[in-house]
Amino acid sequence: MPRIPSVRGRLKDIPGDRPKRVLLAAPRGYCAGVDRAVIAVEKALEHYGAPVYVRKQIVHNIHVVTELEKQGAIFVDEVDEVPEGAHIVFSAHGVSPAVVHAASDRGLHAIDATCPLVTKVHREAVRFARDDFEILLIGHEGHEEVEGTAGEAPDHVTLVNSPDDVPNIEVRDPDKVVWLSQTTLSVDETMETVRRLRERFPNLQDPPSDDICYATQNRQVAIKKVAEEAELVIVVGSANSSNSVRLVEVALENGAKAAYRVDYSTEIKQEWLEGIATVGVTSGASVPEGLVKEVLLELADAGFGEVSEVKTAEEDLMFSLPKELRKDLAGNRDERALGGRTRA
C-alpha cells in the first residue's frame, strides 16, 4: 500500500514539565488472514484484469479498500450486483453457504479469501449442528463474520451479543449446548459471557480450540501492557473494524485515561495531547503499517519523538493463498503463495 502523507506541522510541541514519549505496541497491524485476503485481491487483478468484484469490504479498513478500488476492485454488498460470469472474491470475514450457492447460480468465478481461522469456526458450527447441539454464537449482530458462521447452521444457532444477553437465552436441551465465538472479540468480555452462560447451563461445552484468533488476542495483550503506563492511547483502525474498536475499550479498561480510534493521523486532535507525557500507539489487525508511521511522524511534530516498542509476542504465521492464486501468470509457483509480504 502507498504511503499516506501526513499534514506536517499541524500538531504543535507544547512544552511541559515531563519528557514526552511514545509506547508502540507490538504486535500490531496486519495479521496473516488480512495479509492473505488483501494479496488475494491484488493477485486476482493481476491474473484476470480489472474489474474484480469483492463481496463486502475485503477487510475492515477504509484505506485498504480505497487503494484496491484504485487498482480496479469493485466492492458490492451482494452477489446479485455482479455481472454473470465475472470474478468475485469473498472477504476475509467469510460467507454463508447461501452466498456461495447464489454466486454459483450466477456463474461467477468465486475466490474464497476467508481467513482460515474463520473457516475453522464454520466447520465447528457444521459439526456441532450435525450432532444436534444448540450453538450459542457469541458475536455482534450484523457483523459479516457472524452472518457467515450462523448461515452454516441457521436452525441450530442462537446469537449472544454480550454478557447481558445471557439471562434471556433459551435452549431446547441444556445438556446439548456448545458455545462458539466471532474471532475478533474482546477476550475478557467473551470469557465473561462464557462464565455467565455456564452458570445457566452447567453442561455447556467448549469449542475444540479457542475461537478468538491469535492476532486479536496478541494485540489486546500488547495494548494492556502499554495502557498501564500510557495516559493516552491512539488506535489506528476503522470504525467497522471490530478488533480495532475492542482495542480502544481494552486500553480504557487497563489504565489509559483516554483512548481514541483514528483512520488517519490527520484525525489526531491537539487537545488530546494537552498535559500528556506518554502516548500509547497500536493498530488493528487490518491496518497497514504505513498508517501507523504517519501517526508517529505527526506525534513527533508534537514533541513525542522518543518511541519505545513494547513487545509481548512474536508472530510469524502465514496462510496459503486461495488455490486459484498460488501460481504466477506463467504457471510457476508464486513467491507470495503463503500470503507474506515484506513489511516496511
Tell whether residue 203 is among the known ligand binding residues.
no
What is the pLDDT averaged over residues 228-244? 97
Of the chain, the percentage scoring pLDDT greater than 90 comes to 89
Examine the pLDDT at 231 and tell me if it is beyond 70.
yes
DSSP string of 179-221, one letter each residue: EEE-TTS-HHHHHHHHHHHHHH-TTPBPPSS--S-HHHHHHHH
Tell whether residue 115 is among the known ligand binding residues.
yes
Which one is predicted more confidently, 248 or 343?
248
Which residues are known to be catalytic?
A: 145
Tell whether residue 96 is among the known ligand binding residues.
no
Tell whether residue 122 is among the known ligand binding residues.
no
**pLDDT attached to residue 6:** 63
According to DSSP, the β-strands at 109-112 and 134-138 are unpaired
The pLDDT confidence band at residue 342, using thresholds 50, 70 and 90, is very low
Which 3 state secondary structure label does DSSP give 98?
helix
Torsion of CA 280, 284, 287, 289, to 10 degrees: 40
pLDDT tens readout for residues 98-152: 999 999 999 999 999 999 999 999 999 999 999 999 999 999 999 999 999 999 9
Q: Average pLDDT over the chain, rounded to whole?
A: 94
Are 53 and 25 spatial neighbours (Cβ–Cβ below 8 Å)?
A: no
Tell whether residue 213 is among the known ligand binding residues.
yes
**pLDDT attached to residue 332:** 81
- Measure the CA–CA gap between 19 and 278, rounded to whole angstroms: 8
Query: Domain locations in the chain?
Result: 21-30+214-311, 32-115+318-325, 117-200
Domains 21-30+214-311 and 117-200 share a fold: yes
Of the chain, the percentage scoring pLDDT greater than 70 comes to 95
The pLDDT confidence band at residue 340, using thresholds 50, 70 and 90, is very low
Examine the pLDDT at 341 and tell me if it is beyond 60.
no
The pLDDT confidence band at residue 5, using thresholds 50, 70 and 90, is low
pLDDT tens readout for residues 291-338: 999 999 999 999 999 999 999 999 988 899 999 998 877 778 876 655
Options 2.40.30.10, 3.40.640.10, 3.40.1010.20, 3.10.20.30; CATH of 117-200? 3.40.1010.20
- Measure the CA–CA gap between 17 and 7, rounded to whole angstroms: 27
Options 2.40.30.20, 3.40.50.300, 3.40.1010.20, 3.40.50.10490; CATH of 21-30+214-311? 3.40.1010.20
CA 209 to chain centroid: 19
Tell whether residue 320 is among the known ligand binding residues.
no
Which one is predicted more confidently, 330 or 2?
330
Tell whether residue 63 is among the known ligand binding residues.
no
What is the pLDDT averaged over residues 73-81? 98
Tell whether residue 286 is among the known ligand binding residues.
yes
CATH topology for the 32-115+318-325 domain: Rossmann fold (3.40.50)
Examine the pLDDT at 199 and tell me if it is beyond 80.
yes
What length is written for the chain?
344
What pTM was estimated for this model as a whole? 0.93
SS3 track for 123-161: HHHHHHHHCCCEEEEECCCCCHHHHHHHHHCCCCEEEEC
